[in-house]
Structure formats: structure tokens, C-alpha cells
Homo-oligomer: A and B are copies of this chain.
Amino acid sequence: MNLKELARKLDLSPTTVSRALNGYPEVNEATRERVAAAARRYNYKPNTRAIRLATGRAMAVGHVIPLATRHEIVNPVFADFIAGAGEVYSRNGYDMLLSVVPDDNEERVYRELKSRGTVDGVILHAPRMEDPRIPLLVELDIPFVVHGRATGTTLPYSWVDVNNRRAFQRATEFLLDLGHRRIALINGLEFMDFALRRRRGYEDALTARGLTADPAIMVSEEMTETAGYRAALHMLALDQRPTAAIVSSMIMAMGVRRGFEERGLRVGRDVSIIIHDDELSYLRNGDDVPIFTATRSSVREAGRQAADMLISLITGKVTGPQELLLEAELIIGQSTGPFTG
């Protein structure tokens, strides 16, 4: 069943039927009713492909997932971010297009997205320092929103980010207040913007108390369980070992905990851990009582916000770069305790 056929059945022109269904004012209310009823009756749904060609809009948003060619890691927060964004897209009639792309030809993909007109806008994931994709997207004139920010980029652009610096600063202060002085930072790879900011927050807090960050107890690694485990063992091997650690992700922290506990240290008593908790749906930080003390910020909510912002940009509801900084809350769990001798 297509428009023409439906029009014929109604003894109306396609024009009128189209207008009736799309809520244009220049159509008689009685007619509109009749059309709507027929559309329901014959289960008419306008063909997406035709709409897209006719209107020139893709009614779709692209998410390009760079697949790190070396280690092939899919960002674990990705699924939840998508879930949040997806909600918003469905509500607004947009499709979500995913391209999994080896990160060495991401540029080509963006260019094609543009020239083939497959999407109306994109979400940029996992920005790095001076990320080259930002100027590229600006040049291509594709509406986009960055999940995160890119230190060193001077061009204005739209983004949704968590205040990572502030979060880690507070986490560090919290540990300092508990009496800890040797606090390890077990961070993600620091060419990732968020990791960089987290380190800054950590360093700022230390400096503010007249302490200096010790590179020996700072690691920057892939945020996997095993990397966390290795980091923990590394820390334990030091003669001046840390009494607390701030860990960039829940998964990594599970490895850290495994390392510590394997050596007989009890987390929350012998050693304190604060994590950053993205509130991943399959990796809740406990139900009622949080397992880990954490800086918490819902990545799903970030997905919703980013999608919202992007749609506003695409439809022209807003213009010019939009910015949204979400604050993380510090929640107290069972993994931290006062410094004991």
C-alpha cells in the first residue's frame, strides 16, 4: 500500500493525502479524518526511502565506532550510551546508524557519510587531545555532538561531557581527608581526553595540599580488568606502596581489587579504592549500599542529552555550538576507609 494507491481508494489526489497525513493546515478537517481513517484501515506507512529522497533529509543519526586497530577494544560504556541516545532518537523518528570502523580510515567514513547523505548528523565518540575529527566534521559541515571534549581544539563545537576533572579532584580530596597521602591513580590511556582531565583533577587536588603527584604510582592503561590487576601488582611491588587508589573504571577496579586481595589486602580496610562509575546497566555498583566509593555519572543520561542536543542542532531548533557539562556525584561506598598507620 502506497500513497498513490491510498489516494485512489479515497478518490483524492496524492497531494491532499500527503498533506492530510502530515498535518498541513490547508486541508479540510473532515477530509483529514477520512484520510487518517483509511490510512489506519489499510495500514499505510509512508515509505522511508521515498520520504528521504523527497525531503533530502536522512532522518538518521550516525555513530561511528572506531575500532582500535591494535587492540580491538569496544568501549564498554558504549552500549549504555547508545541505549540512552536510542531512546531519544525513537521518540523523534530518527534512525540510529552504527558504523564500526577500523580507526585508521575513520576520515573516509565521515566523508562518505556526508557525500552520500546517509545521515543528518553524527555523534563523535571517545575524543582525544586535538582530535582531528573535529575540524574534519566542521569542514564537512555535518551537525555533530562530541561525547566528551578535546583538549587543545580551538574551534568551537558542541559537546556533552562529565566534569571529569572536578570528579577526580573531589575523589582525591576525599582520600586526603581520610588521611591518605600516597594515593595511586590508575587511569585510562591518557591520550583519551577524559583520562587527561581526570589526571589533572587528581594532580590539582594534590598540589592544593602541597603534595606532588608521584609518577611511580600513576598508571595509564587500557581500562580492562587485567590492566587493573597488573597495576595493583605493580603498586604492591613498590617499597613505598600506596594506601589508596583512584581507578578510572569499574571494570578496571575489579582487576585492581583482585590484585590487592590476592596479596592478602582487604579493600576498604587495608587499602582504599575510589572508582568512577558510569552506571552501566550490567555492572551496577551494588544495589543499596555501593560496593565502591565512586564518582558517579550516568553514561546513559549523557547519551540522552547528546542525542537531544544533536537533534536540536539538526532541526535548527538551536544554532551554534552547544555545551553541556554534567557533574558527577561522589557517593560513599564500602571501599574506602581512614588511613591506618
* Chain A interface residues (CB < 8 Å from chain B): 1, 43-50, 52-53, 56, 58, 60, 65, 67, 71-76, 78-80, 82-83, 86-87, 89-90, 95-101, 112, 115-118, 223-226, 251, 254, 257-258, 261, 280-284, 286-287, 291
Q: Is the CB of B118 within 8 A of A76?
A: no
Set B79, B254, B283: member contacting A79, Cβ < 8 A: B79
Q: Is the CB of B116 within 8 A of A76?
A: no
Question: A49-B49, A118-B48 are known contacts. Are A100 and B83 too (CB-CB below 8 A)?
Answer: yes
When C-beta atoms are compared, the residue in chain B nearest to A56 turns out to be: B49
In angstroms, how far is the closest chain B Cβ from the Cβ of A281?
Answer: 5
Set B72, B79, B223: member contacting A78, Cβ < 8 A: B79
Q: Is the CB of B95 within 8 A of A82?
A: no
When C-beta atoms are compared, the residue in chain B nearest to A303 turns out to be: B100
A283 partner residues in chain B, CB cutoff 8 A: 76, 224-225, 251
Q: Is the CB of B74 within 8 A of A116?
A: no
Q: Is the CB of A74 within 8 A of B65?
A: no
Q: Is the CB of B96 within 8 A of A82?
A: no
When C-beta atoms are compared, the residue in chain B nearest to A96 turns out to be: B98
Q: Is the CB of B95 within 8 A of A118?
A: yes
Give A97 to B95 CA distance when docked, in angstroms: 7
Q: Is the CB of B282 within 8 A of A224?
A: yes
Set B95, B97, B100: member contacting A87, Cβ < 8 A: B100
A60 partner residues in chain B, CB cutoff 8 A: 97
Q: Is the CB of A48 within 8 A of B117?
A: yes
Give A324 to B71 CA distance when docked, in angstroms: 27
Q: Is the CB of B282 within 8 A of A75?
A: yes
A73 partner residues in chain B, CB cutoff 8 A: 281-282
Give A46 to B43 CA distance when docked, in angstroms: 32
Set B43, B97, B254: member contacting A97, Cβ < 8 A: B97
A53 partner residues in chain B, CB cutoff 8 A: 47, 49-50, 52-53
A45 partner residues in chain B, CB cutoff 8 A: 112, 115-116
Give A254 to B282 CA distance when docked, in angstroms: 12
Question: A49-B58, A115-B43, A284-B225 are known contacts. Are A86 and B72 too (CB-CB below 8 A)?
Answer: no
Q: Is the CB of B284 within 8 A of A47?
A: no
A78 partner residues in chain B, CB cutoff 8 A: 79
When C-beta atoms are compared, the residue in chain B nearest to A116 turns out to be: B48
Give A257 to B254 CA distance when docked, in angstroms: 11
Ordered nearest first, which 7 A-B pairs have the shortest CB separation?
A86-B100, A45-B115, A76-B282, A49-B52, A48-B116, A49-B53, A73-B281
A258 partner residues in chain B, CB cutoff 8 A: 257, 291
Q: Is the CB of B99 within 8 A of A86?
A: yes
Give A45 to B115 CA distance when docked, in angstroms: 6
A257 partner residues in chain B, CB cutoff 8 A: 258
A87 partner residues in chain B, CB cutoff 8 A: 67, 100
